[in-house]
């Protein structure tokens, strides 16, 4: 029975490979043998392929899915010619803040490539700090949702100049680093990391990482560019420190690097961007249709950032304009779209896709987009529009400096309770209905509100600097006259 099952599976794998090869572009087909040869060299010969364990981080982007498809083609091609092939560990970005379409794209990619039941494949996700097998039927845990919710709110309350500081670009990359580090250690570890990022993107990420670690005093003896493990370990530690500071807790200063750890052999890093990219059809083509990859207006401008959902960021910009700047919701959304245009033009996104995205935000459909954003905030984080507006005012920090202005603009009926609100925030006894109103309107527990009451906005360097990077890690510059943030061209801005 076992032999019959194995033969049946081999037939299935051949069918998957045949269909996959039919949908690769001419450039990808031509590069497939070069990709196979590069992996054989990394293994030390085809006879050692069975023992080679590779890791690939899959984010929500189409380029990442296409690269994984090429890796799968190489894996199945080697298996068709040799007794064994390499093992592939896939660390998957998977968070409550990702759109339903992004999650569906990940599942469709795995299904089309027939990865769920292949013993040569490990599909892993990080949920509330725990590495788990990927299962599309399981939603992110309540602990994961609560952590993302609190981070979203704390970032907003600690911002001092508008919603684009509530930008999870840096957080998304720190999350991916933490995910990759834990996946590296799973089931005996891996021999090499596979990267399909372009050379320019890799340089930008390294420059940002080095600067962030240096200013946090967390650079070690070994240069981070010399070993992927050193980079991931330090970025994971940086994420832990960032989260602690965000919660108002002091994390112990990082210790001196472990001398023995810095003497470990460097983990191999295999770049394959030159062999898997489809430059003739970067955002479409036969392969994307085969994978069932759907264009997602919600995530496209920053598809690699994890939970930085653009539709929600645009919504926050609109709410900022309407409630804080006292203009119009559409003005704030247009500011966000202006930034998106700059990013898409820099990425040379085809005009047809740009048109499709911006048509989604036509003035006549803004109310529908607003409703979609509110539905998403409620589903992903359990947040209402009133709670989103509350964080934009940052009414609790600096001893409630903007609390009265917030009440006058949004909740004039609570002005009579202002003295009791301040008592509750200051840790003094206050009526229970007042305490409950604070919790309901903010979405945060009272103890966190009391901590915010005694804090300054973005007082810590690490918190402020990690939050001024756009989806492509370029520096965000602020137009103080209009309260608008624009993405600058300085890749290495401090």
Is 265 in a helix, a strand, or coil?
coil
Q: What percent of the chain has pLDDT over 70?
A: 81
Which token pair is 95?
A: 């968070």
Alpha carbons 83 and 437: distance in angstroms, whole number: 66
Alpha carbons 166 and 152: distance in angstroms, whole number: 7
Alpha carbons 327 and 320: distance in angstroms, whole number: 9
* Listed residue (460, 467, 477) closest to 208, CA to CA: 467
**Which letter does DSSP use for residue 469 in this model?**
B
Is 172 in a helix, a strand, or coil?
helix
Binning the chain into helix, strand and coil, the percentages to the nearest 5 are 60, 10, 30
pLDDT for 226 beyond 80? no
pLDDT for 15 beyond 60? yes
* Higher per-residue pLDDT: 308 or 200: 200
Predicted confidence band of residue 201 (pLDDT cuts 50, 70, 90): confident
Tens digit of pLDDT for each residue in 326-361?
A: 999 999 888 888 877 877 777 777 787 788 778 878
Give this prediction's pTM: 0.87
* Listed residue (260, 223, 228, 352) closest to 300, CA to CA: 352
The answer to whether the CB of 60 falls within 8 A of the CB of 303 is: yes
The answer to whether the CB of 270 falls within 8 A of the CB of 192 is: yes
Burial class (CB in 10 A: 0-12, 13-18, 19+), 288: buried
pLDDT for 249 beyond 70? yes
Alpha carbons 494 and 468: distance in angstroms, whole number: 10
Predicted confidence band of residue 215 (pLDDT cuts 50, 70, 90): confident
* Listed residue (283, 240, 303) closest to 97, CA to CA: 303
Range name among 153-157, 259-263, 480-484 with the lowest pLDDT average: 480-484
Within 10 Å of residue 278's Cβ, how many Cβ atoms? Answer: 23
Q: What are the E-state strand segments in 59-141?
A: 87-92, 121-127, 130-133
């Amino acid at each position: 029975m076992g032999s019959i099952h194995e033969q049946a599976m081999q037939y299935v794998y051949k069918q998957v490979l045949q269909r996959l090869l039919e949908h690769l572009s001419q450039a990808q087909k031509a590069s497939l043998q070069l990709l196979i040869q590069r992996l054989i060299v990394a293994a030390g010969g085809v006879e050692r392929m069975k023992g080679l364990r590779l890791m690939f981080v899959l984010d929500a982007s189409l380029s990442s899915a296409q690269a994984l498809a090429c890796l799968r083609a190489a894996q199945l091609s080697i298996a068709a010619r040799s007794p064994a092939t390499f093992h592939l560990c896939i660390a998957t970005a998977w968070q409550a803040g990702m759109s339903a379409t992004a999650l569906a794209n990940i599942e469709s990619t795995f299904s089309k490539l027939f990865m769920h039941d292949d013993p040569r494949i490990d599909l892993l996700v990080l949920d509330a700090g725990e590495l788990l097998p990927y299962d599309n039927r399981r939603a992110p845990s309540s602990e994961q949702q609560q952590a993302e919710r609190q981070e979203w709110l704390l970032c907003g309350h600690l911002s001092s100049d508008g919603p684009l500081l509530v930008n999870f670009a840096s957080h998304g990359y720190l999350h991916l680093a933490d995910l990759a580090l834990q996946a590296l250690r799973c089931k005996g570890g891996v021999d090499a990391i596979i990267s399909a990022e372009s050379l320019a993107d890799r340089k930008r990420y390294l420059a940002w990482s080095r600067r962030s670690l240096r200013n946090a005093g967390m650079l070690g003896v070994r240069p981070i560019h010399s070993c992927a493990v050193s980079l991931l370990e330090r970025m994971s530690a940086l994420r832990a420190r960032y989260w602690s500071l965000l919660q108002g807790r002091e994390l112990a200063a990082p210790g001196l690097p472990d001398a023995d750890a810095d003497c470990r052999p460097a983990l191999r890093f295999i770049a394959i961007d030159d062999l898997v990219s489809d430059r003739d059809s970067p955002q479409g083509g036969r392969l994307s249709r085969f994978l069932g990859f759907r264009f997602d207006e919600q995530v496209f401008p920053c598809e690699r950032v994890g939970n930085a959902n653009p539709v929600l960021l645009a919504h926050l910009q609109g709410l900022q304009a309407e409630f804080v700047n006292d203009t119009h919701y559409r003005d704030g959304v247009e500011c966000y779209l202006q930034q998106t245009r700059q990013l898409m033009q820099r990425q040379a996104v085809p005009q047809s896709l740009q048109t499709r995205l911006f048509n989604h935000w036509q003035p006549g459909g803004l109310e529908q987009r607003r409703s979609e954003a509110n539905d998403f905030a409620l589903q992903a984080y359990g947040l209402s529009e009133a709670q989103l507006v509350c964080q934009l005012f940052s009414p609790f920090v600096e001893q409630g400096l903007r609390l009265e202005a917030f009440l006058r603009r949004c909740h004039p009926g609570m002005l009579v309770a202002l003295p009791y609100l301040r008592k509750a925030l200051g840790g003094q006894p206050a009526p229970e209905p007042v305490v409950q109103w604070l919790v309901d309107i903010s979405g945060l527990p009272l103890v966190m509100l009391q901590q915010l009451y005694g804090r300054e906005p973005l007082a810590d360097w690490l918190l402020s600097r990690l939050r001024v990077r756009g989806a492509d890690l370029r520096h965000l510059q602020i137009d103080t006259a209009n309260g608008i943030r624009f993405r600058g061209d300085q890749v290495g801005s401090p």
